[in-house]
A and B are shown apart, each in its own frame.
Chain A
Amino acid sequence: SQQGEEDPQALSIQEGENATMNCSYKTSINNLQWYRQNSGRGLVHLILIRSNEREKHSGRLRVTLDTSKKSSSLLITASRAADTASYFCATGSNDYKLSFGAGTTVTVRA
C-alpha cells in the first residue's frame, strides 16, 4: 500500500533557488527515505532518516522528520539543472518493505 504522499505534485524553480517538498504518512515507521528518479530510469537512494532523528544533511540535501505530525520534508539548496527529476519518499517498517508515495516532479529552469 502507498503510505507516503508528497506535496506538491510538481515544482518548477529557477536554477540557484531552493526546492522544498513534503511527505506525509499514516502509520508508525522505522525510517523514512528519499529517492530520486530521472525520467525513464531506476530510483537512486538519496538519504535515510531514522524515526529517532529529527534532521539530517547530505551535501545540498536537508531532510527533516516530525513523527508527531507524521511528516517529512526534503530541501534541495542551490538547485542545478541536473536536479530535474522526480523525488519519492518511502517509509520503512520492521518488515523491511518500503511504501512509496506518488512523487514530486521537480523542474529546474536554467
Chain B
Amino acid sequence: DGGITQSPKYLFRKEGQNVTLSCEQNLNHDAMYWYRQDPGQGLRLIYYSQIVNDFQKGDIAEGYSVSREKKESFPLTVTSAQKNPTAFYLCASRRTSGDNNEQFFGPGTRLTVL
C-alpha cells in the first residue's frame, strides 16, 4: 500500500452524522484523490487535488467535502447530505512531474451507516 495511510480501517456512523476519513501520504506527491467503491463495481472519483489549497469535484462529489491544507493530508468528510454513504473509500496520490500518472493507493476505509 506504499506510503499512504488511511484511518480508520472500519468506521460506523449513525444516519445524520458527519464523519471524516483520514488520508496521509509521505511520498511527497502533489496530487491526491478520493474514490468510492461499491460491491462488484469499479472506482468512482469523488474529489481530487493537484496542489495544496486547491481541489476539484469528481464525478460523485455531492454529499462530500474535502480540504487540502497540507501537501501530506487530504481528509474526506462524508456529510449527512450523502444519501447512501455505505461503501469502501480509497485514497490515492500521484507524482505530478513527468507524464506518468500512475496512482498509489492507501488500504481503504470501509464505512457503514447504521
Contacts and interface: CB of A to CB of B under 8 A. Distances in A.
Interface stretch (A55-63, A65-73, A76-84, A97-105): A97-105
Contact of A96 (B43, B101, B105): B101
B42 A42 contact: no
Given A41-B108, A42-B108, A88 B101 contact: no
Interface residues of B, number: 31
Interface string B76-106: 0000000000001010101010011111111
B53 interface: no
Q: Among the interface residues A35, A42, A43, A102, which one has the most CB atoms of the partner chain B within 10 A?
A: A42
Q: Among the interface residues B41, B101, B110, which one has the most CB atoms of the partner chain A within 10 A?
A: B101
Contact of A48 (B35, B90, B102): B102
Contact of B1 (A30, A42, A99): A42
11 contacts: A30-B99, A40-B108, A42-B105, A42-B108, A43-B90, A43-B103, A88-B42, A92-B101, A96-B31, A98-B45, A98-B101
